[in-house]
Amino acid sequence: MSSFESSSSSMNIPPQTKSDYENAEEEKQEASDVRHLEEMGYKQELHRGFSSFMSFAFCFTSTSVVVSIALSFDYTLKTGGSGVAVWSWMIGSLFTILVAYSLAEICSVYPNAGSVYHWSGQLASADSAPLISYFCGWLSFVGNVTGDASYCSGFVSILNAVIMLHDKPSLSTTDQVLISIIVLFTWSAINTLRINQQGWINNLSAIFQLSATLIIVIVLFIMTPKHATVHDVFFSTYNGTGLPFVYVCCISILSTLFSLSGYAGSANLAEETKDAGRTAPKEIVLTCICSAIAGFVYLLAVLFTIPNIAQFVKDNEENENENGDTLDDTVATFKLALSYHGTLILTILLLISFYFAGVASITSTTRLYFSLARDGIFPLSHYFRWIYEGTKAPLAAIISVFVINSILLLFQLISTTAFYAFITLSTSSLQISYLIPVLLRCTTARKTFVLGEFNLGKLSIPIAIISSIWLTITSIILCLPQEYPMTWTNMNYSIVAIVGVLFLAGIYWFVSARYWFTGPKRTDFDTTPLLSGHVINENGASRISSPAKHI
């Protein structure tokens, strides 16, 4: 035995196993993530248990293009028909992916649960950061919470379709609201789990949704007795709006943007994701690309099932039940191709997809709400940022989001028009909230932004400019009228709702928030020590020398 071997034996050091090495690497990465978060001015409070695949599964599930297409399918058919829907999807997907790249690049530098709100506060000038991040935060939260309500309402709509397939009377509005709130409660309850436990649910959900999409596509292509022609799918049009066709081609983009919205959801889970600076931005882009492809294939499958869209719309509108309700358009499409049992099976697959999407949507909203409350953006924020130590879940945020969504759902008892006004707010609010940090990236922060691990290099600014133009144009289009003649029941209330939200947020700003709200912690100019776990806000001394600077 050599002297070296003898020395090693005498030291009795056990060989390092692969498991030991992996554990050491995980601990090293976790320490790096915690340090990065502390450099942004925040303490690690949430449980960092999301792996890379969990992050993708969560983001893919929350976007859930199959569910989103089902929610907007009636609008898709009547606003341009098959040809316009296909080309809108391709064009909208391309630009949405560019926007995703721009947001991902920013996320790589600032992997924070506040996502666009936090990014806006970092990219804006120091003097304007509180005001800009304040309104961006409100728009982002409103877009997310109204998205939750739309998923919940959509779930009950598909459940109602299952009941109607049995030739039973449709549910009353009261029953639908009650069921939707019960479903919402179960979504909230699941969100109280530790994030890695919920991550396994998201993994199952992503696999289920991909499988369900594949099953639906294959079944529709094989079982449909009479397919639409390729020419009909790609070039036939239908205009049920009463508006000029060129105008319809523009407003048809709503269905695509709604279906692909929420792709930045993984950014809201950044503080619970391992290696967040690399994983979260990568999953934003990957989710967007996968959703665009999956959505396109699914959209083709359902459109090829409808030989004549004009006749399909007419027949479905004429087949009202005794309550004046018609079968959901997506379920009616299944019915064209399949027998009762086949239609029921595909509808149940869609219903389960809705449920999983709702769980993930609530997760994204509650993390954003926690981040906003942590910085004091809402009244009484210090009550809403409470973390339950048992699971490291933001329990106060979960309860708050449940209450807010329940109130939105209860509006259906007062006026369905008022409720759908809130729902139309979802896409437009998210578009504007995405626009703010991307626009700041290529203007105010053009020369000061430091590229992170995920970056676009020399293409960064050109893509940010293209993304800003696209988001600006589509934000305007989303607020335009969608039917003619315009009435109180078919009016697009997006602009009214946005102005209403900004007006209420503005009142709170001028009355109170401008005196103490400082926005996200900015370590580049702010040296005030942190309170335990969160930024100095309404609970601490003001760092604003003059309120006028932020008006």
Say whether the peptide bond before residue 225 is cis (omega within 30 degrees of 0): no
Q: Give which of 236, 187, 209 is closest to 406, Cα–Cα.
A: 187
CA 538 – CA 517 distance, rounded (Å): 7
Read off the pLDDT of residues 132-187 as tens digits, 9 standing for 90 and up.
Answer: 999 999 999 999 999 999 999 999 999 999 999 888 888 898 999 999 999 999 99
CA 226 – CA 104 distance, rounded (Å): 43
Please tell me the predicted confidence (pLDDT) of residue 23: 63
Non-local (6+) Cβ contacts of 454 within 8 A are 104, 105, 107, 108, 277, 278, 281, 282
The answer, yes or no, to whether residue 424 has pLDDT greater than 80, is no
Please tell me the predicted confidence (pLDDT) of residue 20: 64
Angle at 340 between CA 336 and CA 345, to 5 degrees: 95
Q: For residue 315, give the 3-state DSSP assignment.
A: helix
User: What string of DSSP letters covers 364-387?
Assistant: HHHHHHHHHHHTT-STTHHHHT--
CA 106 – CA 446 distance, rounded (Å): 12
The answer, yes or no, to whether residue 330 has pLDDT greater than 70, is yes
The answer, yes or no, to whether residue 4 has pLDDT greater than 60, is no
CATH class belonging to 46-515: mainly alpha
In the chain, the percentage of residues whose pLDDT exceeds 70 is: 88
Q: What is the mean pLDDT of residues 339-356?
A: 94
Q: What is the mean pLDDT of residues 303-318?
A: 89
Non-local (6+) Cβ contacts of 281 within 8 A are 103, 104, 105, 107, 108, 111, 267, 452, 454
CA 527 – CA 167 distance, rounded (Å): 67
Paired with 79 in beta bridges are: 239
- Count CB neighbours of 413 within 10 A: 13
Q: What is the mean pLDDT of residues 232-260?
A: 93
Please tell me the predicted confidence (pLDDT) of residue 411: 87
The answer, yes or no, to whether residue 247 has pLDDT greater than 80, is yes
Residue 423, classified by CB atoms within 10 Å of its CB into exposed (0-12), middle (13-18) or buried (19+), is buried
Please name the residue ranges forming H helices in 166-272: 173-190, 195-223, 230-235, 245-251, 253-260, 265-268
Q: Which residues of 425-446 are buried (b: 16+ CB within 10 A; e: fewer)?
A: bbbbbbbbbbbbbbbbbbebbe
Read off the pLDDT of residues 12-25 as tens digits, 9 standing for 90 and up.
Answer: 545 556 566 556 66
Whole-number average pLDDT of the chain:
86
- Count CB neighbours of 86 within 10 A: 20
Read off the pLDDT of residues 502-521 as tens digits, 9 standing for 90 and up.
Answer: 999 999 999 999 998 988 98
* Domain assignments of the chain as residue spans, ordered by start: 46-515
Q: Give which of 367, 337, 336, 334 is closest to 351, Cα–Cα.
A: 334
- Count CB neighbours of 489 within 10 A: 10
Residue 281, classified by CB atoms within 10 Å of its CB into exposed (0-12), middle (13-18) or buried (19+), is buried
Please tell me the predicted confidence (pLDDT) of residue 503: 94
pLDDT bucket at 525, cuts 50 / 70 / 90:
low
Q: What is the mean pLDDT of residues 69-89?
A: 93
On whether the CB atoms of residues 361 and 369 are closer than 8 A, the answer is no
Q: What is the mean pLDDT of residues 279-283?
A: 92
What's the distance, Cα to Cα, between the start and end of the chain in Å?
A: 80
- The single residue listed with the structure tokens 């909203």 is 365
Lowest mean pLDDT: which of 53-57, 292-296, 528-532? 528-532
Query: What pTM value is reported for the model?
Result: 0.88
Per the document, the length of the chain is 551
